[in-house]
Homo-oligomer: A and B are copies of this chain.
Amino acid sequence: MKMIIAIVQNQDQRVLVETLMENEFHVTKLATTGGFLKVGNTTLLIGVEEERVERVIEIIREVCEPREQIIPNTTNTTLGTEALYSTYPIKVTVGGATIFVVDVERFEKI
């Protein structure tokens, strides 16, 4: 038995958890704070038989593949007593994942 600890972006976690569950993996979601560009992270705990580790990593790779995304960004400038807001698109890379595989010495399901 192995335990996979996967840290993924919040925006990817729903599709990832659903895909893992459709493939009959058991997933526990740990709440995670922090992240960059206000994009938080989610940490998932996946207990899995050794021979299925590769499949989990494949699924994470497909769902969380880093990709570019255009998001609106807002700046404000003060001109005399007036605040001017302007919105312009910026390109950010979203997705990505950090995966740790740890050995489980004993596993019990009660």
Question: Which A residues are closer than 8 A to B by beta carbons?
Answer: 1-3, 5, 7, 17, 26, 28-34, 41, 43, 45, 47, 53, 57, 60-61, 64-66, 95-110
Question: Quick one: closest B residue to A30, CB to CB?
Answer: B30
Question: Quick one: closest B residue to A40, CB to CB?
Answer: B29
On chain B, the residues within 8 Å of A101 by CB distance are: 104-107
Number of copies: 3
On chain B, the residues within 8 Å of A41 by CB distance are: 28
On chain B, the residues within 8 Å of A17 by CB distance are: 34
The one of B1, B96, B110 that contacts A66, using a Cβ cutoff of 8 Å: B110
The one of B1, B26, B30, B102 that contacts A32, using a Cβ cutoff of 8 Å: B30
On chain B, the residues within 8 Å of A100 by CB distance are: 1, 3, 47, 104, 106-107
